[in-house]
Structure 1
């Protein structure tokens, strides 16, 4: 997994260097992460996301935007307690590092739509039930992939708003077929270019 993470970061650096003659900007983003999965957790739960991005403008309409994000998924529902061999009402918490590779299309100079793949690395997983907390990272695949669609708008002074939905295409659960679904709503800040 470390090799894959290193290779992904190296690819982002090469992409930035390859398009150095194009307009390259850097920024930060963060906001609300709403997550659920296709198992028994049937409604979205709020968490956070934060990270950075590099936008590489290819021309007036097209840009590539690699990102590095941290986010937390939280899903309430039934949790299986293996030690007690029963189900209990609880909450799953999963912490991820995500590397989306987003392609942006500017409909207008400030308004864009975006799409692309996202590779997610599981950092931590636990299940909380009343009075107890269990480390469950061994029950999950440490690496999963999502597909993302979104929209955004650039505001004055480098600020912007962005909304994105990511649909899991690879199971996150090592013992079942469970896909993460996340919606991210937040703000961006693009540093002034020189």
Structure 2
């Protein structure tokens, strides 16, 4: 059901952008500084920031002169550094993320953006057969971007997880993805 909803949303956004007369599409990528927040592992160790990356496609569909909708489809390497009783390691959580952002054009080139993000966990480096992490992630994204010229843009974004990604029934509490992103994009 979750996969069907995810792919139906992607299909709908593809149709929406294909029917829009004056839309931009392109690619973007950048650096992730990811961590896992929450209270599930209190006293067992700590989560630190892990550097990863994101890469994918973006479209911008103007609604008015000052407002547009910006759907994206991104591969995102997330997770956290983990230290547990003096053993250090990286927890790698790879997602396919679908942010759907409202984009407000503040002044020429500068935009603020915010909206929901739905992610689907595609892989992890955990050695257990069944992952302790839920396949579905939901976050709220907020950021800003600046268009340097007609084709090149740069920006910052923070994705604050709102859904519990911990699916281990033996652990009480919840955990959420937190990702700070720096990116560059190219529009065609």
Q: List per-residue Cα deviations over 1:47-74 (Å, max 9, x = no partner).
A: 0100001100112110001100001113
Q: Distance in 1 between matches of 2:145 and 2:157?
A: 8
Q: CA deviation at 1:14?
A: 3.0
Give the 5 Å matches for 1:26-175.
26-39=25-38, 41-78=46-83, 88-127=87-126, 134-135=127-128, 138-175=131-168
TM-score by length of 2: 0.87
Pair 1:187 & 2:184 matched: yes
Q: Distance in 2 between matches of 1:180 and 1:119?
A: 12
Q: Distance in 1 between matches of 2:15 and 2:77?
A: 28
Which residue number corresponds to residue 8 of structure 2?
7
- Number of aligned positions between the proteins: 177
Q: List per-residue Cα deviations over 1:80-117 (Å, max 9, x = no partner).
A: xxxxxx88432200100000001100001210000000
Unaligned runs of 5+ in 1: 80-85, 128-133
C-alpha RMSD of the superposition? 1.9
| Contact 2:158–2:180 under 8 Å retained in 1 | yes
